[in-house]
Amino acid sequence: MPSWQYALSASGANVDALRLARAFTGRQRVVVFQAKYHGHMDEMLWSKDEPDGLGLPQGSGAHVTAVPFNDLPALEAVLASGDVAAVLLEPAMTNCGLVLPQPGFHEAVRTATRQHRTLVIGDVTHTQFAVQGGGRSGVRARPRHRHRR
């Protein structure tokens, strides 16, 4: 991308990323992983276990499909439909404790999404600084300047 856009919240960043993915691919569906949390927006709060719970409008999750984390065959089955704009994933699941990816899972997700011309959106809001070494990015956050009195 030739430019960057900043958001005031992780929810806002994910909304923008999903809109860009849908515009770029011309597809509507988004795949997420069960027990996810990608922000406080209706379509991401939707769950097929509670399709009309939490006061969400009917049909909030019409374009969202949730699959189990670390279940590559389930993901591949959804991608095979050809209508998925993006897979929105955390490097490690953090809304249900900490669930790490199986070795090679992220690489396999990327291979499958490339095969189906689907984008991957990495939501590193929780894991960015929570994991030693900076989470998925592998970059440690260090202040450039220290405040001295």
DSSP state, residue 100: P
As a whole number of angstroms, the distance between CA 86 and CA 107 comes to: 16
What 3-state class would DSSP assign to 132? coil
Q: What is the pLDDT of residues 46-85, one digit of tens each?
A: 655 555 556 777 777 788 898 999 999 999 999 999 999 9
Spell out the domain ranges in the chain.
10-137
φ, ψ for residue 97, nearest 5 deg: 90, -145
Residue pair 22/31 in contact (Cβ under 8 Å)? The answer is: no
Residue pair 30/63 in contact (Cβ under 8 Å)? The answer is: yes
Could you confirm whether domain 10-137 is CATH 3.10.129.10? no
Predicted TM-score (pTM) of this structure = 0.76
First to last CA, the chain: 42
